[in-house]
Structure 1
Amino acid sequence: MKFFHVKTVTETLDVIAREFEPIRPPVELSLPNALDLVLAEDVVSDEQVPHFARSTVDGYAVRARDTFGASDSLPAFLDVTGKIEMGKEASSYLKEGQAQSIPTGGMLPDGADSVVMIEHVEEVDDLINVYRQVAPGENVIRAGDDVQTGELVIEAGKRLRPQDLGVLSAIGKTKVRVYPSPIVAILSTGDEIVPADRKVLAPGEIRDINSITIAAAARQCGAEVIDGGIVPDDYPLFVQRAKELYDRADLLLLSGGSSVGTRDYTEQVMQSLGEPGVLVHGVSIKPGKPTIIAKAGGKPVMGLPGHPASAMIIFHLFVAPLIRRLQGESPSPYDRRLPARISRNVASAVGRSDYIRVKLEEREDGLWATPVFGKSGLISTLVKSDGMVEISANKEGILEGEVVQVHLFR
């Protein structure tokens, strides 16, 4: 076994970033179908948005200088020379001392540089009394204020949100090239594992938790999931099932069977799937040390710990970033972390990264994180937790009241 050559968390993440990339080529989809997928190419605008100056309020288009000094006691008087209609071109030039009625979103006429709100004027036949001055550009969106011609609107590697689809629509981009959702196959292993729908358990049997939790977590990351079921500790059958799933998926996750033991076939199965084989065999982390990462013919294969809490923590640390890599998503310096104060002292061993589960609590003096202790086989500890806190390998622990970064569970 290769646990004597375990890697750090940072080294393991570096392996993922260096070795893996999207497997399937980009596809072109309409905007509604591209939500939550990752853009495969830069989008540059061929036009400006808006392509004309428009009003942000109901009021009157004016020259700002014609309103300077206007007040309740000394209003400015302007001639109303027209009415601008929504969706129509403002064709009449605005001269000095003139104003034109304009609705919200209406096109600003040439000569005007601002809009005075209707609440600040009094209409008297074809005149208005302006009781408040406006500055040039006030209550106006200028042409190109939103997007300029030739501007990089969205970079490749960005996961498309509703607002991103909105700006693409604004520039007339109705189809985009995106990376398809990766397909993740999950295979649970172990003689003791039985399906979750088993009503009566024999002595020594446990219901399969990981295939449910890991599949749900993968779907949250935008992946499609293949449930590979359960395979016993039988090497020929294990290899056969793993190969069948490997051929159908972009990422194969093997749950369980990654600990040191005479019946541990996981590494052998992963090596059999293709070159270069195992890249990481063990991570200096608690829980989750017996984690294996391999590369077979360009595809990633991961062996997750069998204990449910360990498997979920490893998923958040390594599998989620790997799925993002397969989706073509650019690395981000930000993730779902919140600063909080730890509510008690927590000891740790130097030389490994410890991840403790915590529950968040809002107190009068701010956000606090309370450790949720329990063995890695207890799924209930995750149910009670809102996230996890890292105690880095160079620390002997954290002290009560110390500010920590809580990596939130979704």
Structure 2
Amino acid sequence: MKLTVVGGGSTYTPELIDGFARLRDTLPLEELVLVDPAADRLELVGGLARRIFARQAHNGRIVTTSDLDRAVDGADAVLLQLRVGGQAAREQDETWPLACGCVGQETTGAGGLAKALRTVPVVLDIADRVRRTNPDAWIIDFTNPVGIVTRALLQAGHKAVGLCNVAIGFQRKFAAMLGVAPAELHLDHVGLNHLTWETGVRLGGPDGEDVLPKLLTDHGDTIADDLRLPRPLLDRLGVIPSYYLRYYYTHDKVVEEMRTKLSRAAEVAAMERELLTMYGDPALDEKPALLAKRGGAYYSEAAVDLAAALLNGGGNPYQVVNTHNSGTLPFLPDDAVIEVQAAVGPEGTTPLPIPSVDPLYAGLMANVTAYEDLALQAALHGGRDRVFRALLSHPLIGQYEYAETLTDQLIAHNREHLAWA
């Protein structure tokens, strides 16, 4: 089995490598290819990857290359984890929207749209090259904004599934709180990528006992602190929203925080410099503890489970993925991409049935789905008016003057990445 990681020079990659090494019985890789245009980073990450495999007695071969076509040739699956423009572009995404009093964030609002415009054309080009070489290969997208990128891939007819680590992170935290194994918990996870709610936490499977009320009663303060949301809000909702809902539920407070503290991009850039220095140490043969602060917790476990299920029917039979709605949520278009529990296997993904969704969540999901549709049109076809329409439709913006100003700012800061600008 051959798997290719596009963006293999990312500082995330050792987390992925560690999972591949530990979980080799679930996903028996014979060849792992790391491809990245940044040769210096790739050499450091590739060296550590080989040492991690050697330490854990994994017999798979690790190949590093900057040649994408060579990398994907014969791959059974291609995992995308790229960042067009790097951390410098991310820092801009997190900064210029603040002048309008809007959240600056790389996956939602104006910054999220900027990232989508930079990313979608690049990802589609990669996917086309994969399809020319091996049309049966699965594409697993971890590249943000996952919902829009996955929708672009599916709309273009690619065999693609989107992946996020929010659900598996919740599963691991809740299992620790309850004193059970993570595999015993099934989440009633519903929404769009980075716009999700846990409406149930079930012991033993989809039909198991719902222990969400117990979690909120016994551990509500801890959960609220982790999410940086008020405990009374969780009590009134009776569900557990993802961390990203703080950008909606406490928007103005978050903006003030962002205006007075170092951007997350600057923090990550400093962390990456330190990590890359560590990776260059020939004595290092395991992922360093600092990597846990980089983000992407449990990413490797989620990736292994998904790849195994798609390629050989292994892994967990039910997983949270980003996939076509196909009638699952009747208030959204069939071709919308939703993030829900699904049955996953070599034939693809089939979302599990979902009970009626509270209008409080359904309304926001419908609004953001409409934005994602407009964002994708802007990413595919360009043009100032399409960018403006997407920004005007976003619930975190929604005002004419803001949309006008942010449109000009977005284009100015991303001109080198926009072929039409």
- TM-score, reference length from structure 1: 0.23
**Higher strand proportion:** 1
**Higher helix proportion:** 2
- TM-score, reference length from structure 2: 0.22
The structure with more radius of gyration: 1
Specify which structure has the bigger relative contact order, considering alpha-carbon pairs within 8 angstroms and separated by 6 or more residues: 2
